[in-house]
Amino acid sequence: MKLEMKLKNNAARSVNPYGCKQEVLNQINYVKEQGSYEGPKKVLVLGSSSSYGLASRITAAFGAHADTIGVSFERGPKDKTMLGTAGWYNNIFFREFAEKEGLIAKNFIGDAYSLEMKEAVINYIKEEFGGKIDLLVYSLAAPKRTDYKTGITYTSALKPIEKTVTGENINLEKEELFTQVVEPATEEEIEGTVKVMGGEDWEWWVELLKEEGLLAEGFKTTLYSYIGPKATHAFYHEGSLGVAKKQAEESSNRINESLKELNGESLICVSKAVTTKASVVIPILPKYLICLYKVMLEKGTHETPIMHKDRIFRTMFYGEEREFDDKGRLRPDSWELNEEVQQEVSALMEQLTPENFKSDLTAYNLFRKEFLNINGFEVDGNTIDEVNFEDLQKMKP
């Protein structure tokens, strides 16, 4: 069957499994080109199937030669109209590439928020993974979370607080720039966002692993966060997500206290803006991204998720070039938030119109290509655009 990219607004409705394979390989090759580094050896990545989670897993495995466990919620092929998610295939091909190099690459598919998943991972670490881990990456991005202690399901909402925000966004399906109005979050939505996107579940993971004696001496853990420019502060820094990230920082402080006896550390890592399944549906952000990419490309500082996370692992998590702010957060986003970069991005955003946003004035074509790459389309090096459904059914994560 022939594979074609299908979009519904800014969400993918199709996937090219072999493009996903090539994209994973391209990221692996990038890491190998940078050479080996001294890093973690036993790694657990929560939210491991795409974007920053996948990039973290790849740099740990192919840069530091680490065994890894990945947890993600993905779907496999159901029928010829539903071939599964890109993350499903990323998991499969990452495992295959890692095992070829003698590395352990265990995939758990399911709800990372659940107690059942936590217990399954704990048992695997005890019985088959050497008994301890030295790094936990928390990179979950989900719309909902069920608190297994209460049974209550919470839903997140990326909205401003106490004000209505109007801005321009990009519709990738129609390739249009349009005006978007976002109403303020309710108290229930703010609470739900904190529960889903905050640090409570992260704390619970670390607590359970520590209670079972599964954390190695010098253990590290990180949660990926974002602050971004003034253009997105209404949603991130000052909005419902900002409240959640503040709570995550409080969680990190408590985790740090609990890890003192292990000489361990907890790090909030404020990352740069990149093209992800989540970022393309956030109001205003796509318009900002096409301008940011243009400016950073010209300055030679544009990074994809693998470039960004590989740099962080080498120079910050396991290197001596750490950049912290006054709240103790790691700030590799300094390249993005450089004053000169932000001034040029702001000026460029003011020039955009529905007629010129796709022109060479911006990096729209790169932004769109990176989004298609996430789903296995237009991937450099891939030439396969047909699949046999029965072959896909045989693939196991």
- By annotation, the residues acting in catalysis are 236
Which residue matches tokens 């450099």? Answer: 380
CB-side neighbour CA atoms (13 Å) of 253: 8
Say if residues 68 and 43 touch (Cβ distance below 8 Å).
yes
Say if residues 66 and 105 touch (Cβ distance below 8 Å).
no
Which residue matches tokens 């997500």? Answer: 241
Largest CA distance in the chain: 59
Say if residues 105 and 68 touch (Cβ distance below 8 Å).
yes
- 375: which 2 tokens? 């789903």
Residue by residue, DSSP assigns 24-47 as: HHHHHHHHHHH------SEEEEES
241-280 b/e with 16+ CB inside 10 Å = b?
Answer: bbbbbbbbbebbeebeeebeeeebbbbbbbbbbbbbbebb
Helices (H), 198-324: 200-211, 240-258, 285-299, 305-312
Tell me how crowded residue 69 is: count the other CB atoms within 10 A of its CB. 23
The values of phi and psi at residue 147, to 5°, are -75, 110
Contacts 24+ apart (CB under 8 A), 115-121: 115/148, 117/71, 118/204, 118/205, 118/208, 121/44, 121/69, 121/71
Residue closest to 384 by CA, chosen among 22, 29, 13: 22
